[in-house]
Amino acid sequence: MIFFNYETDFQLVDEAKYEDWIEEIVTSEGLIAGDISYIFCDDEYLHEINVKYLDHDTLTDIISFDYCEGKIVSGDIFLSIERVRENAKEFNVSFDTELLRVMSHGVLHYCGYKDKSAEDERIMRSKEEEKMAMFHVEQ
């Protein structure tokens, strides 16, 4: 099951649409969606997690904790809405586009994709684009 938690003023519009999309991402990779929680927060909240659990004293847009077992994809994905807004400006894309990229990025890690090497990062970007295209926008 997909869960959305809010530690900031931000709120997804039409959570069911995002749930369906995330499940579709997982199943398109031949895996099963278990319990996946998205926690939307601010920079301060995510920075605390980064320092406390990962010993990184930096700002980031996403931190994910992987609880996958076999083909069942589960985990907690923390997203800084402030970083997503800043990144959208920096990359000259809409907030909604950047949010989809970061949301798909987190679950793609659980599906086995990495982003440490240049080649892994290229594959991850390609997968993000593929999965973002699966988010159907009504015209």
In the chain the domains, ranked by start, together with CATH numbers, are 2-132 (3.40.390.30)
105 marked as part of a ligand binding site: yes
Residues 6 or more apart whose CB falls under 8 angstroms from that of 92 comprise: none
pTM of the model: 0.93
Instruction: Convert the pLDDT of each residue in 38-54 to its tens digit.
Output: 999 999 999 999 999 99
| Average of per-residue pLDDT across 101-122 | 95
**pLDDT score of 70:** 95
- Strands 32-41 and 2-6, how do they pair? parallel
| CA–CA separation, 70 and 92 (whole Å) | 38
Distances (CA, A) of 25 to 49, 93, 104: 26, 22, 8
| CA–CA separation, 8 and 12 (whole Å) | 11
**Burial call 93-107: b when 16+ CB within 10 Å, e when fewer:** eeeeebbbbbbbbbb
136 marked as part of a ligand binding site: no
Per-residue pLDDT band for 137 (boundaries 50, 70, 90) equals low
109 marked as part of a ligand binding site: yes
Chain centre to alpha carbon of residue 77: 6
- Strands 72-80 and 62-66, how do they pair? antiparallel
| Average of per-residue pLDDT across 71-92 | 97
* % of the chain residues with pLDDT over 70: 98
**pLDDT score of 139:** 37
